[in-house]
Amino acid sequence: MQVERSLIPYSVSDLPSGKWLVFAPHADDEIIGMGGAILAQRENISELVICYVTDGSKGGGADIRKSEALAVCAALSATPVFMSLPDRHLIFNKATLDQFAAVIGTVLPDVIFFPSIEEFHPDHRVTASLVCSAQKSAGFKGEVVSYEISRQSEANLLVDISLYAQKKRELLELYQSQMMQNNYVEVMEAINKARTYTLPATVSAAEAFFRYSEKSKSLETFLHHRHYEYVTGINPADNPVISVLVRTYNRPEYLQRCLNSVAIQHNHKQIELVVVNDAGCNVDDIVAGFSGRFHSEKVINLPVNRGRSAAANIALRHATGRFVNFLDDDDEFHPNHFSTFLWHWRRRKHIEVFYRGVRVLSESGELVKTYNEPYDPGRLMDANFIPIHAVTFTRKVIDMGCRFDESLEFLEDWDFWIQVSRLFDFHRTGSITATYHLVGSSCATPGSEAFCDPVFHRNRVKDKWCDKWTAVEYGRLTSYLTKSVLSSVKAEVLK
């Protein structure tokens, strides 16, 4: 299992400074959840705006709760905003979303705070979802941070509020109407005490926050991925770095799509991205746009065009991950590409080479065919049926000397798989996890006869291997061809 330090901090931190906008579903949530942090970091807050989302009428009179909130804001030198939406009837719709976006657009904060999506109260959870969507529609570029109110939620920041715990209690007691509703003070202080569990003994009270670094995702999706990592990323050894090797040449629009498909993988933080630009137009800015998304990223700019095989070999030399997966710039992964591999590998650690199904789309987006055949080494000797990006393979393949034949202009991936098949078994799942786009100069592209002779290039590969295959390998080829002929004869008979 993952150690504790990968799940919760063992030291305190500061929250981002600047202009803060705090969304509080109800008047008092802001103090229960982050009153101590506001007090502790007041000097680093250039301006504090507290937006009270509901009117709080279900937990006391709306007017009383508003007057109490005004007293709290006065004590904190905060600017209040009252949305006055109905208590316990907060819903996610376009009208409400527009109201949230309007607040963000008017305040123009540097940091937005909101309740954790894991809270119990429905208003808390709906507020979190509304803030997530509204900050994106408002074009917000700052920090987004969630806080906890009624329970311990996901946290990656702990703030020491030891010196401010008493003052925080006094602020909460300004909400006199709420003191009769529940034992909020005791619950708040219990959670603040519990949050010191992993902190030094000198810390007597702390507040917890989750700082989101991926605002492109919904909070729900982000947390789903986070929990996925906690459950399946059980051990660092079970969460290996995978090198994704991308060859590109003068196709920046395709490269953007390609890298987007890598960035949405569940294990993107364990992906080493290696882009080999084969003397094409500059793509540094495109790759830089993904900075921080991966374990690491690098671009190798070749001064002269070397061709696909040479570019692949250069990428292999720069790969340091435990596993490797090629992805050409015009193709893409589906979100489940690596999670599918990891699910199988974590259960059968002997897997060294693994492939999945790939759909083939025309330039107009129509489904042309699907590569999704069971593994047969004899079939691989006859022709390639495994697209290059379908396969995740161990770096032992590199260490044992497998390389792309730079004398081959086409079908270099087939030749590479033949090399790999002589060293390792190929494991497969029938899941479709990637797309092959029929564009460019591949022998699989319709009309390829205009620039290459598929039969000629296929025979070049066979000629290379015909005197290297063993009797066992020839037996596999013969067995496959025999089954193929019998299958064709049977099909004709059934007609």
pLDDT of residue 7: 79
Statement: residue 238 has pLDDT above 60:
yes
Same domain, 205 and 243: no
Neighbouring residues of 479: CB distance < 8 A, sequence distance ≥ 6: 378
Residue 228 within any structural domain of the chain: no
Q: What is the pLDDT of residues 156-184, one digit of tens each?
A: 999 999 999 999 999 999 998 887 777 88
**Torsion-angle region of residue 60: left (phi > 0), alpha (psi -120 to 50) or beta?**
left
Tell me what pLDDT residue 232 has: 47
For residue 106, how many other CB atoms are within 10 A of its CB? 12
Give the residue-averaged pLDDT of 337-344.
94
Same domain? For 206 and 299 the reply is no
Provide mean pLDDT across the span 25-29: 95
- The answer to whether residues 210 and 253 belong to one domain is no
Same domain, 206 and 248: no
For residues 474 and 354, give the distance between their C-alpha atoms in angstroms, rounded to a whole number.
24
Domain termination site, one of 154, 189, 217: 217
Average pLDDT, the chain: 90
Which residue among 187, 217, 247 closes a domain?
A: 217
**CATH number of the domain encompassing residue 429:** 3.90.550.10
Mean pLDDT value of segment 448-474: 84
For the stretch 134-149, pLDDT in tens is 998 899 999 999 999 9
371 sits in the region (left: phi over 0; alpha: psi -120 to 50; else beta) called: beta
Domain span at 474: 233-479
Distance CA 436, CA 334 (A): 11
Q: How confident is the model at residue 339 (pLDDT cuts 50, 70, 90)?
A: very high
Give kind and range of the element (H or E) at residue 207: strand 206-212
Rounded to two decimals, what is the model's pTM? 0.55
List the structure tokens of 108.
């123009």
Cα–Cα separations (whole angstroms), residue 382 to 143, 217, 427, 481: 55, 44, 19, 8
Token pair listed for 126: 């709906």
- Residue 485 placed within a domain: no
The domain that holds 35 is classified in CATH as 3.40.50.10320
Would 227 be classed as within a structural domain? no
| Residue in 114, 118, 135, 100 with CA at minimum distance from that of residue 30 | 114
Looking at the fold, whether 271 and 205 belong to one and the same domain comes out as no
d(CA 177, CA 342): 53
Which of 93, 92, 155 is CA-nearest to residue 124? Answer: 92
Average pLDDT score over residue span 240-267? 95
| Angle at the Cα of 369 from the Cα atoms of 368 and 373, rounded to 5 degrees | 170
Gap between the Cα atoms of 267 and 337, Å rounded = 10
Considering the domain architecture, whether residues 144 and 263 belong to the same structural domain is answered as: no
Q: Order of strands, edge to edge, in the sheet holding 45-54?
A: 79-85, 45-54, 18-24, 111-115, 143-147, 206-212, 157-160
Is 441 inside a domain boundary? yes
Tell me: the pLDDT tens digits for 406-430? 999 999 999 999 999 999 999 999 9
Please state the rounded mean pLDDT for residues 451-460. 82
Question: How many domains does one find in the chain?
Answer: 2
Is there a contact between 269 and 295 (Cβ–Cβ < 8 Å)? yes
SS3 sequence, 253-300? HHHHHHHHHHHCCCCHHHEEEEEEECCCCCCHHHHHCCCCCCCEEEEE
- Whether 176 and 238 map to the same domain: the answer is no
Higher pLDDT, 95 or 440: 95
Query: How many CA atoms lie less than 13 Å away from 275 in the CB half-sphere?
Result: 30
pLDDT digits (tens, 9 = 90+) for 28-61: 999 999 999 999 999 999 999 999 999 988 877 8
Residue 490 forms part of a structural domain: no
Residues 246 and 159 grouped into a single domain = no
Task: Mark which of 190, 217, 244 sits at the end of a domain.
Answer: 217
Instruction: Say yes or no: 151 and 93 in one domain.
Output: yes
pLDDT category at 225 given cuts 50, 70, 90 is low
User: Percentage of the chain surpassing pLDDT 90?
Assistant: 78
Q: What is the pLDDT of residue 197?
A: 95
Q: Would you state the structure tokens that stand for residue 323, as one six-digit string?
A: 């596993």
Same domain, 268 and 408: yes
Is residue 493 domain-resident?
no
In a domain, 313, yes or no: yes
179 and 117 housed in the same domain: yes
CA distance 122 to 91: 9
| 484 in any annotated domain | no
- Mean pLDDT throughout 323-336? 96
194 and 311 share one domain: no
Residue 336 CB burial class (10 angstroms; 0-12, 13-18, ≥19): middle
- DSSP letters for 209-241: EEEES-TTS-HHHHHHHHHHHHHH--SGGGS--
Residues 183-222: pLDDT tens digits?
Answer: 889 999 999 999 999 999 999 999 999 998 654 444 555 5
Overall average pLDDT of the 422-441 stretch: 91
